């Protein structure tokens, strides 16, 4: 009998990257398994045409809970109930995903115990974080370890996709990719530090160029940084699709990024990385198995895990990471 699995991990980008090894391990053990994934509509392109996925089911985050969308939600649940999944794996661990998975009615429901929103009440098997320091990837993988699957087997985290990336990044240059944005303001290395870093890289020999990536929300950052070194900077902020961003990162010689989705994409693509960490826990959500790629200042209040800085010296943890320190890290990886 063919195993049927539904993975619930709708968002965010970095969290989806952390969850992808679960998909890979399932398919390595059960090559004929039929695997589905529930994902937010804006992030769905990262999973489209994935060789290990049979179907993607779209979650419209901004419509969730609206009376006008209730019929559509129930209709989606009814259609998914017909699939008769063997395993429903909730890697989001929140009430919304837990309720959705429970309503689908798979034979076995496995969920991460986030300790939030009462989600644990919906699960047949509860996956607690093995320790406060456990990385998010390992926590997700515990959801298949509990099914006695070996998670040490090799896999390709993010298979390559054919895109227009070759026309975006001239392969005759060594590309340093800047990812200056982040979901939390407190996670952002100062804009003027990126500006100073770009200016310093102008004087490094060896056909170096800088590509700046991010969403449209970061467009001002892209303009300011590229203006500091217009002869070597290519501002792609808000100008690529999600898939093009992935493939640009795949071609990077070094990636410089805050704790953000693009940073975790760079890890999944096995690119040399300089990760800039301040308020977040680098052990839990840092570059997986690559602690040497992190720069994190030793500030008493860090990691505070707060989206907005409450320190007397605003953003002290990020300001303590100097451009000179970052450029040294870059040159060591070229």
pLDDT digits (tens, 9 = 90+) for 103-161: 999 999 999 998 777 899 999 999 999 998 899 999 999 999 999 999 999 999 999 87
- The CATH T-level fold of domain 165-333 is Rossmann fold (3.40.50)
Q: In whole angstroms, what is the distance from residue 182 CA to residue 200 CA? A: 23
- Find the mean pLDDT for residues 168-189: 94
Ordered DSSP codes for 50-79: -TT-SEEEEE-GGGTT-GGGHHHHHHHHHH
SS3 at position 158: coil
Whole-structure pTM value: 0.93
Banded model confidence at residue 165, pLDDT cuts 50, 70, 90: low
| Residues 323-333 pLDDT 10s | 999 999 999 99
Any residues with CB less than 8 A from the CB of 295 and at least 6 apart, and which? 274, 275, 276, 277, 321, 325, 326, 329
User: Is it the case that residue 32 has pLDDT exceeding 80?
Assistant: yes
User: Is it the case that residue 271 has pLDDT exceeding 80?
Assistant: yes
Nearest to 278 by CA among 177, 194, 182, 201: 182
Q: What share of the chain is helix, strand, coil (3-state, %, to 5)?
A: 40, 15, 45
207 phi-psi bin (left φ>0, alpha ψ -120 to 50, beta other): left
- The CATH T-level fold of domain 4-145 is Rossmann fold (3.40.50)
Residue 243 pLDDT: 92
Q: In whole angstroms, what is the distance from residue 39 CA to residue 47 CA? A: 9
Q: What is the mean pLDDT of the chain?
A: 93
User: Is it the case that residue 164 has pLDDT exceeding 60?
Assistant: no
Helices 136-145 + 13-29 axis angle, to 10: 30
DSSP 206: S
Weakest-pLDDT range from 38-52, 65-79, 150-164, 171-185:
65-79
Asked if domains 4-145 and 165-333 share a fold, the reply is yes
| Residues 179-195 pLDDT 10s | 999 999 999 999 999 99
Banded model confidence at residue 198, pLDDT cuts 50, 70, 90: very high
Give domain limits for the chain.
4-145, 165-333
Residue 68 pLDDT: 67
CB atoms within 10 A of CB 149: 16
């Amino acid at each position: 009998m063919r195993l049927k699995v539904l993975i619930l991990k709708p968002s965010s980008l970095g969290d989806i990257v952390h969850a992808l090894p679960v998909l890979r391990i399932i398919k390595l053990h059960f090559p004929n398994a039929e695997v589905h994934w529930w994902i937010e509509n804006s992030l769905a392109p990262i999973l489209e045409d994935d060789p290990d996925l049979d179907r993607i089911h779209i979650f419209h985050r901004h419509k969730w809970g609206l009376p006008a969308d209730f019929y559509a939600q129930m209709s989606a649940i009814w259609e998914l109930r017909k699939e008769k999944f063997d395993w429903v794996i909730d890697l989001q661990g929140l009430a919304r995903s837990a309720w959705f998975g429970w309503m689908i009615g798979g034979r076995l429901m496995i969920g991460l115990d986030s300790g939030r929103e009462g989600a644990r009440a919906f699960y047949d098997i509860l996956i607690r974080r093995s320790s406060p320091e456990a990385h998010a990837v390992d926590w997700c993988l515990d959801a298949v370890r509990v099914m006695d699957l070996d998670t040490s087997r090799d896999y390709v985290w993010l298979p390559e996709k054919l895109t227009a990336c070759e026309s975006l990044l001239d392969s005759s240059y060594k590309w340093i990719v800047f990812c200056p944005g982040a979901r939390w303001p407190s996670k952002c290395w100062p804009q003027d530090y990126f500006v100073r870093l770009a200016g310093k890289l102008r004087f490094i020999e060896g056909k170096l160029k800088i590509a700046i990536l991010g969403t449209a929300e970061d467009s001002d950052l892209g303009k300011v940084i590229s203006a500091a070194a217009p002869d070597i900077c290519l501002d792609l902020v808000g100008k690529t699709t999600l898939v093009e961003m992935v493939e640009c990162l795949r071609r990077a010689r070094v990636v410089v990024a805050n704790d953000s989705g693009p940073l975790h994409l760079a890890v999944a693509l096995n690119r040399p990385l300089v990760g800039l960490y301040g308020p977040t826990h680098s052990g839990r959500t840092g570059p997986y198995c690559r602690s040497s790629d992190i720069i994190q200042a030793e500030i008493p209040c860090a990691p505070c895990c707060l989206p907005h800085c409450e320190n007397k010296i605003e953003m002290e943890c990020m300001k303590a990471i100097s451009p000179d320190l970052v450029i040294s890290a870059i040159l060591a990886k070229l």
